[in-house]
Amino acid sequence: MVSRRRVKRPAGRRRTPARRMWRRRWLFRLAGFLLVAGLAWVGISYLQIVFTFHERLGGAPSQLYSAPLVLRPGSAWSAAELVDELRSRGYTAGAESRLRPGEYLWEGESVDLSLRAFLYRGGQVKGYPARLDFSGRSVSGMVLLPGGEPLDLLMVEPRSLGIFHGRRNQLREPIRLQELPEHLIAAVLEVEDRRFRTHRGLDPRGIGRALWEDLWAGRVEQGGSTITQQVLKNVMLDPQRRWGRKLREMIMAPLLETLLEKDEILEIYLNEIYLGQKGSFSVVGMGAAARYYFGRPAADLDLGQSALLAGLIRSPGTYNPWRHPRAARVRRDHVLQMMVRGGHLDAAAAEAAGARPLHLSDTTLEGMPEAAAFLEVVRRQMVNAFGLEALEHGGLRILTTLDTRAQRLATRILDRGLRRLEADGAVARQVGEGGLQGAVVVMDPGSGAVLALVGDRKPGRGRFNRAVDARRPVGSLFKPFVYLAAFQAAANGQDGGLTMASGLVDEALELDLDDHVWRPVNSDGRFRGEVSVRRALADSINIPAVKVALGVGIPVITRLAEACGFPAGLPRVPAVALGAAEASPLEVAVAYSVLAMGGHRPTPRFWTSTMAADGGRLTLNEVRQVVVADPAAAFIVSDILAEVVRSGTGRRVAAAGLTGAVAGKTGTTNRRRDAWFVGYVPGLLAVVWVGADDNRPVGLTGSQAALPIWLELVQSLKPFPGDASPPAESLLRVRYDPETGGVATKNCPRVAEEWFMAGTEPEDECPLHSRRSFWQRLLGR
């Protein structure tokens, strides 16, 4: 019998019951700690999801739109110009047989188009097909199709200008799921997550396939992610391919599915997916991609376009239809076949969609880069009116006053005009490396609607908005307000009153001021002797303006100018009569609107309405005007400004053939540092400033630098023809002798005819050329 001997363990390796219990307790504690930590992590993750996606679902960024394009018979548009404008608004060329909404057909002097429906000021504007006929640069007729009923007015929907959001360098156009075509949703689900409707955030089969390929590659290559996981990656997590991020994504996906409905997750996904690059801008979301690639709203995508966008998700660079059109077509056709296999469409529909060309857009999506200065003002006003939170998450639809054609033309013409000036070697040497700068404001003087605004010759290059934020000396632009005050003083029986029959003397003038003697001179250094009021202002003569200002009183003039729109705090010194006052181009536009509109000062408007995405909660920005000047006095000044462009300092306007109801004024400051021109026609007023940012002299007058730019702009716009404002009822038209100021007789060798405010008109006959007999004059009867 073999005896068994017990082998003794070394003393150090003997396990006592106490030690085993101690280890178990620590293992339990560790497990408990890990459990609590895990639960805490899950809880924190859930709270992060709640807060993050509550913000996403609680609202959308506000969207900006231009003004609608309004056309009437007689509107100054050519067929080519209209087609260009339609393309910028996402219209594409259609087939001759049938036009879908958002398509046009251009043949010679005729354009057929199918207008889209759109929300406008709280109501729905219906879409319909129409035909426009042209004669040169004019709309000769508009009819409804197919019946041919005449149309008096046609509105093309506003152009999308972008959105307000905190993430810069992204092109976005948020959309609701119900706005998307079914074939786009089906294509995306088939390509990205065909079991999306049935899983709870994770797809085990997809994860297994991706895990095997990742292990084989030795790194994270295949996603295997569901749409829910991709939403988490795009919205919350680090987009880099790492095991830690993938693990967190897999744990958080079921949590997100408990918080949101499937359609809510899908809507976020379709608005957050990266779909391409335009320069420094990322194209994010299906709404932006539809505009960028096809120039149309996502709701108007056809089957082939939907398949292409769905195919882009995997690799937007590889399948970029502009850079790689063949790869893009192959990918589109592959997606169409996937949809056939998935039962979403039949083979015939897929074949028809695959046979169509890509029909890429020839427009860009950056909203409208030329309007950067305009949109910055809109942002300021919106933040002041509604707050930043409402702007970035309130989902507002903001309808602006922007006229896209006017903005485009103003930007191009300003830069072209400045380059033309800089081509002169003397000017280039004068301004140095900094070059010339400029600003333009285009406004409807009646409503105050700002139609275009350029704050830099190269929009987007800098954030300084010269049209709004740069106050520069205005020079002779101030003189009309000196005469305006003098005409009002005459009507009110106050000192220094002036009428059109008053005689002014242009002669040397010397003023003793507090600390120096001021000797104003005229720009040409000459003195003309006696001049009429009309010639003094039309020719922008300095000495008469100073004398009129001193007669009326500097405080009276500055108070009136401030009421008209010049900034408060104008200097109360005699030099203000010659433009020592400073103002921005926008402030100048408002002040001159008073003259254009018979004494009414408009409040400048950059937006007309805001409303919720569904058309509710409408807020209107109504036209607001205040009477700040006597309508009769304003009319007289405006009538003299019409003389400026006929025979005065702005006579190049009439020489260029722009006649009729047009008025304007040049402005040049001391040492020719600033050059201005402001002019208006019925329904349109424009201000142009040219100068240098470092305030160095540019060596140019307003008529040399700013007027040509203004003239080219107005000639290009050719605003809808209209008549000048009618004279006020209190105005009288009187013939008088300019030598004596008396009522003209048939014996007067020189006769002038002018407007006078009631009570200021000449009443006595001309004493030198009276019709009285010799004996009556001799006896004084």
Quick check: 627 pLDDT over 90?
yes
The pLDDT of residue 221 is: 42
CA distance 762 to 781: 19
Superfamily of domain 68-157: Penicillin-binding protein 1b domain (3.30.2060.10)
- CA angle (747, 749, 752) in 5-degree steps: 105
Structure tokens at 34: 């890990």
Q: Which one, of 563, 602, 772, 746, lies nearest residue 683 by Cα?
A: 602
Q: What's the alpha-carbon Rg for the chain, to the nearest Å?
A: 36
pLDDT at 563 over 90: yes
Whole-angstrom CA distances from 338 to 302, 311, 332, 335, 343 are: 17, 11, 10, 5, 9
Split at pLDDT 50, 70, 90, the class of 155 is: very high
State residue 222's pLDDT score: 44
Architecture category of domain 167-355 in CATH: Orthogonal Bundle (1.10)
Distance, in Å, from the CA atom of 441 to the CA atom of 453, rounded to the nearest integer, reads 5
Task: Return the structure tokens found at 241.
Answer: 């391919």
The predicted-structure confidence for 81-139, as pLDDT tens digits, reads as follows 999 999 888 888 887 768 888 889 999 999 999 999 888 877 888 999 999 999 988 99
Cβ proximity of 632 and 491 under 8 Å:
yes
pTM of the model: 0.81
Residue-level pLDDT at 207: 64
pLDDT confidence of residue 246: 66
Split at pLDDT 50, 70, 90, the class of 50 is low
Report the C-alpha gap between 219 and 556 in whole angstroms: 80
Residue 642, amino acid: A
- Phi, psi (rounded to 5 degrees) for 200: -110, 40
Work out the average pLDDT over 400-415. 96
Instruction: Quickly state the pLDDT bin for 237 (edges 50, 70, 90).
Output: low
CATH 3.40.710.10 fits 477-576, yes or no: yes
Average pLDDT of the residues in 242-265: 75
Does the structural domain 370-470+584-634+646-720 have CATH classification 1.20.1730.10?
no
Q: At which residue do the structure tokens 């959105």 appear?
A: 163
Question: What distance in Å separates the CA atoms of residue 106 and residue 734, rounded to the nearest whole number?
Answer: 55
Element spanning 303, H or E: helix 303-312
Q: For residue 605, which of 590, 615, 583 has the smallest C-alpha distance?
A: 590
Region(s) of the chain under CATH 1.10.3810.10: 167-355
Going 251 to 256 to 261 to 265, the CA torsion angle's sign is: negative
* Token pair recorded at residue 81: 């110009």
Judged by average pLDDT, the poorest of 159-163, 323-327, 732-736 is: 159-163
pLDDT for res 464:
85
C-alpha closest to that of 132 among 75, 87, 89 = 75
pLDDT-derived band of residue 3, with 50, 70 and 90 as boundaries?
A: low
674 with 688: CB under 8 angstroms? no
Tokens, residue 498: 């002036």
Residues 6+ apart with CB under 8 A from 750: 737, 738, 739
pLDDT tens for each residue of 453-466:
999 988 866 578 99
CA dist., res. 603 & res. 447, Å (int):
8
Cβ atoms 286, 309 nearer than 8 A? yes
**Average of per-residue pLDDT across 328-335:** 94
Cβ contacts of 92-95, under 8 Å, gap ≥ 24: 92/294, 92/295, 92/296, 92/359, 92/361
* 570 contacts: CB under 8 Å, gap ≥ 6: 558, 561, 562, 576, 581
CA-wise closest residue to 454 among 320, 443, 239? 443
**Closest listed residue to residue 585, CA positions, set 604, 571, 608:** 604
**Displacement of CA 559 from its chain's centroid (Å):** 32
User: Which range in 88-102, 387-401, 471-485 is most confidently predicted, on average pLDDT?
Assistant: 471-485
| Tens digit of each residue's pLDDT (9 = 90 or more) over 691-722 | 998 889 999 999 999 999 999 999 998 876 66
Beta bridge partners of 20: none
pLDDT band for 14, please (50, 70, 90 cuts).
Answer: low
What count of other Cβ atoms lies within 10 Å of the Cβ of residue 603?
14
Q: Quick check: 397 and 174 in contact, CB under 8 A?
A: no
Question: Scanning the structure block, which residue is given the tokens 């608004």?
Answer: 89
What's the rounded Cα separation, in Å, for the pair 623 and 511?
44
Where along the chain do the CATH 3.30.2060.10 domains lie? 68-157
**Quick one: what percent of the chain has pLDDT higher than 90?**
53
Weakest-pLDDT range from 409-418, 478-487, 734-743: 734-743
DSSP H or E segment with residue 626 = strand 625-627
How far is the C-alpha of 56 from the C-alpha of 383, rounded, in Å? Answer: 20
- CA 658 from chain centre, in angstroms, equals 28
Q: Enumerate the CATH 3.40.710.10 domain ranges in the chain, comma separated.
A: 370-470+584-634+646-720, 477-576
> Which band of pLDDT confidence, cut at 50, 70 and 90, is reported for residue 547?
very high
Decide: 743 and 736 in contact? Cβ < 8 Å. Answer: yes
The confidence band for 281, taking pLDDT boundaries of 50, 70 and 90, is: confident
